[in-house]
Amino acid sequence: MKKLIYILCMLPFFTACEDVVEIDVPTDKPRLSVDALMRINTTEASTSYTAEVRVSASSNFFESIEPVELDLISLTNVETRETINLFNTYNGSGIYQGDTTIDFMTSGELILYMEYQGEQYAARTTYVPTVPIDKLVQGDATLFSGDETEIIVAFKDQPDRTDFYLFDFDFNEYLVTEDTFYPGRTFEFSYFYDDNVTDGMNIEVSIMGVDQSFYNYMNQLIVQSGGDQGPFQTPSATVRGNIVNVTGIEDLSELDDLASIVDQDNFALGYFAVCQTFTNTIAVE
């Protein structure tokens, strides 16, 4: 909103300019775009879990993202050899769901497999644990305009392991951090909201455990978008995730690493990740 105000204020100075300027925008061939971030809340009493994947297609920078119909989509647990199929719950929505269990999602390596327009796509991942949020309070500090809302977050890193974290601050705002400088210690930081937060609003803040590959992927997206873009929206430049084209490969479980064929050009956008997630809510005053 603030950017819009600034632009409107500048319009009177440029009304006399009538030159047409042609700008080359990023273009790309249509690609499958997959939102397969699966958040696992292990604090719930129920052991059931509904896996959900959102699938769409995108081509160039300014075109809208449209949902697509897959020919097949499934999840396989490599360890147990159990496979579940996902179904288009809402016709034409591009949302695919399948019922399974927390144990299925958190034990062993998982393969996401999809068939679309004669091509096959797949990604492999494993469940990544995290730690809960220990502190979520509103502060009174500001940055530049004086109208920002400060939220103070603290958590204690797990010792004796390397951890990567993804924070979801609601409103499609994300932040990544790693424990290089605070291993096994409590880490506290401030996050500032601009003009999208008002008094009385409830904000959900989530911490997710991610591996280094997903950490790097999200870091690239956040840098490209200026921090206001989710992990599965069309980025300003193509950021390659972990979903690759596996057309012609019969047994995916025999491949130790799908990244070995990531140099193929016909890959899909998006990422498949299974993350333990803790969510806290704060009411803005």
Residue-wise pLDDT tens for the chain (285 aa)? 444 333 334 444 344 444 444 444 455 567 889 999 999 999 988 899 999 999 998 755 445 578 999 999 999 999 999 999 999 988 889 999 999 999 999 999 999 999 999 999 999 999 999 999 999 999 999 887 778 899 999 999 999 999 999 999 999 899 999 999 999 999 999 999 987 788 889 999 999 999 999 999 999 988 887 655 555 554 445 688 899 898 888 777 655 566 555 546 788 889 999 999 999 999 998
The C-alpha atoms of residue 136 and residue 153 are separated, in whole angstroms, by: 5
Q: Hey, which residues does 56 pair with through a beta bridge?
A: 33, 67
Asked if 49 and 102 count as a contact pair (C-beta separation under 8 A), the reply is yes
CATH 2.60.40.10 spans which residues of the chain? 133-209
pTM metric for this prediction? 0.83
Asked if 34 and 114 count as a contact pair (C-beta separation under 8 A), the reply is yes
The C-alpha atoms of residue 185 and residue 198 are separated, in whole angstroms, by: 33
Q: Which CATH architecture group holds 133-209?
A: Sandwich (2.60)
Asked if 143 and 137 count as a contact pair (C-beta separation under 8 A), the reply is no
The C-alpha atoms of residue 41 and residue 209 are separated, in whole angstroms, by: 11
The C-alpha atoms of residue 104 and residue 43 are separated, in whole angstroms, by: 16
Classify 31-129+239-259+266-276 by CATH class.
mainly beta
First to last CA, the chain: 21
